[in-house]
Chain A
Amino acid sequence: MSHQALIAILLLSPFVGFLLNGLRYRSQNYVLAGSIATGAVFVSFICSVMLMMDLIAAPADQRRLTANFFEWIAVGGFKVNAGFVVDQISSIMILIITGVGSLIHLFSIGYMHHDKGVTKYFAYLNLFVFNMLILVLGDSLLTMFVGWEGVGLCSYLLIGFWFSDAAKAAAGMKAFITNRVGDAAFIIGMFILFFSFGTLNMYELNALAPTTVEASWLGAATLGTLMLFIGATGKSAQVPLYVWLPDAMAGPTPVSALIHAATMVTAGVYMIVRLNPMFVAAPNTMMIVAIVGAITAVMAATIGLTQYDIKKILAYSTVSQLGYMFLAVGVGAFGAGMMHLMTHAFFKALMFLGSGSVIHAMEGEQDTRLMGGLKKYLPITHFTFLMGWLAIIGFPLFSGFFSKDEILWQSFASPRGSVFLWVAGAIGATLTAFYMTRLMALTFWGKSRVPKEVHPHESPVIMTIPLIVLAILSVVGGFIGVPHLIGEYLGHIPNYWAEWLAPVIKTLPEAAAPHTATQEWALMTTSVTLALISAFVAYRIYTSGKGTNEAIAKAFGPVYNVVNNKYFVDEAYFGGIINPLVKQSQNLWMYIDVNFIDKTTHVISDMTKGAGSLARSFQTGNMQQYAMYIGLGVVVVLTFVLMR
Chain B
Amino acid sequence: MPETNILTTIGLEHYLVLSAVLFSMGMAGVLLRRNLIVLLMSIELMLNAVNISFVAFSKFNNNIEGQIMVFFVMTIAAAEAAVGLALAVSIFKRFKEVNIRFFEHLKG
Contact = CB atoms under 8 A, between A and B. Distances in A.
The short answer to whether A and B are in direct contact, CB under 8 Å, is: yes
Interface of A: 616, 619-624, 627-628, 631
A619 B107 CA distance: 6
A622 B108 CA distance: 11
A612 B34 CA distance: 29
Contacts of A631: 27, 31
Interface string B54-84: 0000000000000000000000000000000
Contacts of B27: 631
B85 interface: no
Nearest to B106: A621
A616 B106 CA distance: 11
Contacts of A619: 107-108
A624 B30 contact: yes
A28 B106 CA distance: 79
Interface string B2-35: 0000000000000000000000000100111010
A621 B106 CA distance: 5
Most buried by A among B32, B101, B104, B108: B108
A628 B108 contact: no
Contacts of B34: 624
Contact of A622 (B30, B32, B101): B101
A624 B100 contact: yes
Contact of A621 (B30, B31, B105): B105
B107 A623 contact: no
A627 B32 CA distance: 10
A620 B31 contact: no
A621 B32 contact: no
Contacts of B32: 624
A622 B31 contact: no
Given A616-B108, A621-B107, A622-B100, 19 more contacts: A619-B108, A620-B107, A621-B103, A621-B104, A621-B105, A621-B108, A622-B101, A622-B104, A622-B107, A623-B100, A623-B103, A624-B30, A624-B31, A624-B32, A624-B34, A624-B100, A627-B30, A627-B31, A631-B27
Closest 7 CB pairs of A and B: A621-B107, A621-B104, A616-B108, A623-B100, A627-B31, A627-B30, A619-B107
Contacts of A627: 30-31
Contacts of A624: 30-32, 34, 100
Nearest to B34: A624
Nearest to B107: A621
Contacts of B31: 624, 627-628, 631
A620 B100 CA distance: 13
Contacts, number: 27
Contacts of A622: 100-101, 104, 107
A618 to B, nearest CB: 10
Contacts of A620: 104, 107
A150 to B, nearest CB: 68
Contacts of A623: 100, 103
Nearest to A634: B27
A622 to B, nearest CB: 6
Contacts of B100: 622-624
A627 B100 CA distance: 12
Contacts of B104: 620-622
A624 B100 CA distance: 8
A366 to B, nearest CB: 77
17 contacts: A619-B107, A620-B104, A621-B105, A621-B107, A622-B101, A622-B104, A622-B107, A623-B100, A623-B103, A624-B30, A624-B31, A624-B34, A624-B100, A627-B30, A627-B31, A628-B31, A631-B31
Most buried by B among A620, A624, A631: A624
A44 to B, nearest CB: 82
Nearest to A632: B31
A627 B104 CA distance: 14
A99 B103 CA distance: 99
A624 B101 CA distance: 9
Nearest to A615: B108
Nearest to B100: A623
Contacts of A621: 103-108
A628 to B, nearest CB: 6
Nearest to B101: A622
B47 to A, nearest CB: 16
B20 to A, nearest CB: 12
A619 B105 CA distance: 11
A628 B31 CA distance: 6
A565 to B, nearest CB: 71
A628 B103 CA distance: 16
Nearest to B105: A621
Nearest to A628: B31
A119 B106 CA distance: 78
A95 B105 CA distance: 94
B85 to A, nearest CB: 17
Most buried by A among B32, B34, B106, B107: B107
A638 to B, nearest CB: 12
A620 B105 CA distance: 9
A619 B108 CA distance: 5
A283 to B, nearest CB: 82
Contacts of A616: 108
A619 to B, nearest CB: 6
Nearest to B108: A616
A616 B31 CA distance: 20
A623 B32 CA distance: 11
Interface string B88-108: 000000000000110111111
Contacts of B106: 621
A176 to B, nearest CB: 61
B27 to A, nearest CB: 6
A629 to B, nearest CB: 10
B5 to A, nearest CB: 28
A620 B101 CA distance: 11
A627 B28 CA distance: 10
Contacts of B30: 624, 627
A631 B34 CA distance: 17
A134 B66 CA distance: 102
Nearest to B32: A624
A115 B34 CA distance: 95
B42 to A, nearest CB: 10
A631 B27 CA distance: 8
B90 to A, nearest CB: 17
A287 B59 CA distance: 110
Nearest to B27: A631
Nearest to A613: B108
B100 to A, nearest CB: 5
A549 to B, nearest CB: 80
Contacts of A628: 31
Nearest to B24: A631
A474 B104 CA distance: 102
